[in-house]
Structure 1
Amino acid sequence: MMSESNSEQKIPVKQIHSKDKKVKVSGRRSTKHEKHRPRHRIYVRAVEGVYQSLRNRMNWVMMVSFMLLPWIHIDGRQSVFLDFANRQFHLFGLTIWPQDLMLLAFVFIIAAFSLFFFTTFLGRVWCGYWCPQTVWTFIFIWFEEKLEGPRNKRMRLDELPWDFNKLWRKTAKHVCWVGFSLFTALTFVAYFWGSHASFVGFFTGDMTFWPYFWTFFFTLATYGNAGWMRETVCLHMCPYARFQSVMFDQDTFTVSYDAARGEARGPRPRKKDPKELGLGDCIDCVLCVQVCPTGIDIRNGLQYECINCGACVDACDQTMDRMGYEKGLISYTTERQLAGGKTNIMRPKLLGYGMVLVIMITALIATAVGRDPLKLDVIRDRNMLSRLNEYGLMENVYTLKVLNKSQQVRDYQLSVQGIEGLEWSGEQVVTVEPGEVFSVPVSLAIDPYLLEKPITELEFVLIDDAGNRVVQESRFIKGR
């Protein structure tokens, strides 16, 4: 009985024998054994079009800005200089101190919500158009194309045995990769060490250990990431690819394939009506796969590997144009629009991200505009709160810390208010260098009979030669 019951519950299995032992990977014929290698080499095919022109322009803006900023000086100081040693960030004439970390907090919050906003609206456009990994990867691919030729020639070159032609091309490519990686690393270190000190010091041996260490580290990282790992960083190392789907919805613009229009796909004569052949508009040329920097087939639907670079859009539009079909088989569109609906742009989630973004930008501007270019800290003498001096006056001792947060040398006037008859002992006019913290020891004395309370509030006033004024509260202790 048991065996009969088991036999009735068995699901019939049909053995299917594949006639074609080969499968297509990344737009070329590859054996089944090759498909299961840990990493299959992707040969990215060059493509031109509207979105690639836009991406190239944005890449140039990002790269040139990164390369030039350390060499631009404002008031004799590097425009962007992150001086961790002295705990100062110099940004376009503005010096940010540890006391101004609220500004950096606003910057990070704005960056986060900008990412949320644009991902919800346009998908992974950051990855496709602005991400340094993408920018540098395409630069390295450009070196490949110039030295090894277009996609088919590169594939053929890798299959050929080693000879002089292959050796010099491969060597020249890697020399260019390493050279550009070194230049990138020196530029990056220049943001923390100084442009002149980084570039001149590296070749003259004037650098200390850590600048050399970070220069070689980032050279190796750039060479490895953009030259060898490439899409592996996007697919397996970048956390953004993993949580991006949380921000997607049916109205997010992503690169998508219109299956209703494209299927069934297949080759056909150019002048033949595809409807007569029972085919859709997709001619299965696999150009969309060959131009993809992550090696995916967008026709399989939305995938986390897609970086929204639009390369497949340009490639497909060129094919549709040659075939005389309407463009847009692959396009930036939404899931709702593909289903026949109308995209809802003004939706609560997007409006919420946008509102927070506007509030944070407003708060950053207000904080930066209202930021005082000077700061005064008052430190009381903790060893002796009060004492009677040789003249019978009650005396309190303070240390005043004057911080010049501007980029110019400033003269400062010190005074005190809140108690009549106080005698000031110490400097009242000081000159402070840019970014310097100047200590001023001060003692205040008064006849104890003029004090009505054991503790009296007072205020120290600091005024610079530009008319900026700051007030810091403190206390005067009468003692016993």
Structure 2
Amino acid sequence: MNQIPVKDVTPGKDNNSQSYDLYAKREHIYVKYYKGFFKNLRTAAGFFMLVMFFTFSWLQYDGRQAVLFDLPNRQFHIFGMTFWPQDFMLLSWLLIILAFILFFVTVFAGRLWCGYACPQFVWTWFFIWAERITEGDRNKRMRLDKESMNREKFLRKTAKHILWLIIAAATATAFVGYFSPIRELIPSILSADLGPWELWWLGFLTVATYGNAGWLREQVCIYMCPYARFQSVMFDQDTLIISYDEARGEKRGKRRKGTDYKAEGLGDCIDCYACVNVCPVGIDIRDGLQYECVACGACIDACNEIMDKMGYEPGLVRYTTEHSLNGKPTKLLRPRLMGYLTAVVIMCSAFVYVLSNRVPIEFEAIRDRGALFNEVRGTLIQNVYTLKVANKEQVDRRYQITVEGIEGLNLVNDPVFNVSAGELLDYPIRVQIEKNKLSTANSPIVFTVETVDEPKVSATVESRFMGPAPIR
């Protein structure tokens, strides 16, 4: 009988085998300070996000916090609108829309989300800035870490970690301020009068921010973020990605400015490692597209600065496509990209329509299950209902109830009542009709609730009116 040939690849035996660690020990990345267009663009995007995050919880709208997720009362206030758990479908819809927008952007221009808008990297750059102003630029930080502990090193390290903790604590406070009113939270922190859940989340988020942005940094993107693992499947040969122009840059080598490097067989890359020194994830873009790349554009700015100093054309490292690098035309309008765009436009239009026509009333009618019906004075048939009316607005409303479906139906209770802002009211109501006007023992009826004041808003709900079977 033939045997399948087997090769022994046990580590340690003389079989030229190599073993690899699934997790490599982290080497600290010293990011060099640089300037450039993409840095300015990223700084503007990050600053915009930080301003929104830290200020939106302080905005007021109609006398209350404009953005507040009130979990104990199950109400989510976003400026003039209040959402309830029943509106969870809208949140799901919104998340699906955001996912499709992310897919569209990724197909078009790679990982722009990671480089310019991801909170992990916005805060990472924030922490790198704090590191630079306390310990100095890249070379100074490297020398400082190699030195033995002395007074200067202790003071600089202490100042850095204090600044990191201040940023982390401010981040945690701002985040919790979206769930507990920020104007009440700050005095509670200052007076050490916090509830257990507030204390827990403030502590947890402070530690998480300090650890993720200060210590883990790129490790979160490389090992923890799932997007880095599947985003490449959305790339094609027409996707804009950060690439090194190998045909132009090779062969690498040092040279003096103004020399005829072409005669020496050299390309435009002077092998200065500027692109590596500014990379926040520590990769060499000249090795090709790597899943660790977050498309922040730092290597482009650094390389363009060197090209300018050398008198070469910029763009040795640039946003480009695989087709463009190979001298082929790039197709911007392609089926997959247009498919995502069409889906996004349709879903956004439908979402805006549903949101703009959303009725701020939750209405339900529950029949009394204690008795199918009651006879009143021998000639009237009565059904009892409990109307549940939720005022989903942020102002008190006055409502009126009407019922129709059978000619001669009458409401016994006062059909007009008040519901406070955000209140769910149980309103018992009795409906009567003359016995001789019933044609069936089970008749459909419709309750309508509408606002008495402006603007006019109404909601309807169907129910059943029960009575004795008519005598034929």
Structure 2 length normalisation: TM-score?
0.92
- What is the deviation of 1:392? 4.1
- What is the deviation of 1:37? 6.5
Task: Provide the rounded CA distance (Å) in 1 between the counterparts of 2:419 and 2:256.
Answer: 81
Task: Provide the rounded CA distance (Å) in 2 between the counterparts of 1:344 and 1:200.
Answer: 57
**1:163-211 deviation per Cα after TM superposition (whole angstroms, max 9, x unaligned):** 1111111001100101110000010111111212322222223321111
Among residues 400, 403, 428, which one is paired with 1:416 in the alignment?
Answer: 403
1:477 pairs with 2:466:
yes
- Partner SS state of residue 449, structure 2: strand
Among residues 240, 253, 274, which one is paired with 1:253 in the alignment?
Answer: 240
Partner amino acid, structure 2, of 1:204:
S
- Corresponding residue number in structure 1 for 2:154: 167
**1:185-242 deviation per Cα after TM superposition (whole angstroms, max 9, x unaligned):** 0101111112123222222233211111011000000000000000100110011100
- What is the deviation of 1:92? 1.8
Structure 1 length normalisation: TM-score?
0.91
Equivalent residues in 2 for 1:352-363, closer than 5 Å? 352-363=339-350
1:450 pairs with 2:464:
no
- Corresponding residue number in structure 2 for 1:279: 266
Among residues 275, 288, 292, which one is paired with 1:301 in the alignment?
Answer: 288
Equivalent residues in 2 for 1:64-213, closer than 5 Å? 64-213=51-200
**1:68-108 deviation per Cα after TM superposition (whole angstroms, max 9, x unaligned):** 00000111122211122222111121111122223212210
Task: Provide the rounded CA distance (Å) in 1 between the counterparts of 2:189 and 2:103.
Answer: 39
Partner amino acid, structure 2, of 1:134:
F
- Corresponding residue number in structure 2 for 1:223: 210
- Corresponding residue number in structure 2 for 1:429: 416
Gaps of 5+ in 1: 1-35
Contact kept in structure 2, 1:266 and 1:284, CA below 8 Å: yes
Partner amino acid, structure 1, of 2:239:
T
1:326 pairs with 2:313:
yes
Contact kept in structure 2, 1:106 and 1:363, CA below 8 Å: no
Task: Provide the rounded CA distance (Å) in 1 between the counterparts of 2:245 and 2:468.
Answer: 84
- Partner SS state of residue 34, structure 2: coil
Task: Provide the rounded CA distance (Å) in 2 between the counterparts of 1:105 and 1:355.
Answer: 19
- What is the deviation of 1:159? 0.5
Partner amino acid, structure 1, of 2:457:
N
Contact kept in structure 2, 1:426 and 1:440, CA below 8 Å: no
Contact kept in structure 2, 1:415 and 1:428, CA below 8 Å: yes
| Alignment RMSD | 1.4
Task: Provide the rounded CA distance (Å) in 2 between the counterparts of 1:461 and 1:271.
Answer: 85
Task: Provide the rounded CA distance (Å) in 2 between the counterparts of 1:209 and 1:103.
Answer: 31
Task: Provide the rounded CA distance (Å) in 2 between the counterparts of 1:300 and 1:383.
Answer: 76
Task: Provide the rounded CA distance (Å) in 1 between the counterparts of 2:351 and 2:333.
Answer: 25
Partner amino acid, structure 1, of 2:220:
V
Gaps of 5+ in 2: 1-22
Task: Provide the rounded CA distance (Å) in 2 between the counterparts of 1:101 and 1:147.
Answer: 45
Identity of aligned residues (%): 50
Task: Provide the rounded CA distance (Å) in 1 between the counterparts of 2:410 and 2:354.
Answer: 37
Contact kept in structure 2, 1:427 and 1:440, CA below 8 Å: no
- Corresponding residue number in structure 1 for 2:7: none
- What is the deviation of 1:390? 4.3
- What is the deviation of 1:375? 2.7
- What is the deviation of 1:367? 0.5
Task: Provide the rounded CA distance (Å) in 2 between the counterparts of 1:183 and 1:320.
Answer: 40
- What is the deviation of 1:334? 0.6
Equivalent residues in 2 for 1:237-252, closer than 5 Å? 237-252=224-239
- What is the deviation of 1:391? 4.7
- Partner SS state of residue 250, structure 1: coil
1:315 pairs with 2:308:
no
- Partner SS state of residue 396, structure 1: strand
Partner amino acid, structure 2, of 1:236:
Y
**1:406-432 deviation per Cα after TM superposition (whole angstroms, max 9, x unaligned):** 111111111212223223222311111
- Corresponding residue number in structure 2 for 1:17: none
Partner amino acid, structure 2, of 1:144:
E
- Corresponding residue number in structure 2 for 1:19: none
Partner amino acid, structure 1, of 2:284:
D
Partner amino acid, structure 1, of 2:463:
S
Contact kept in structure 2, 1:181 and 1:222, CA below 8 Å: yes
Task: Provide the rounded CA distance (Å) in 2 between the counterparts of 1:92 and 1:120.
Answer: 33
- Partner SS state of residue 191, structure 1: coil
Partner amino acid, structure 1, of 2:187:
V
Partner amino acid, structure 1, of 2:467:
K
- Partner SS state of residue 420, structure 1: coil
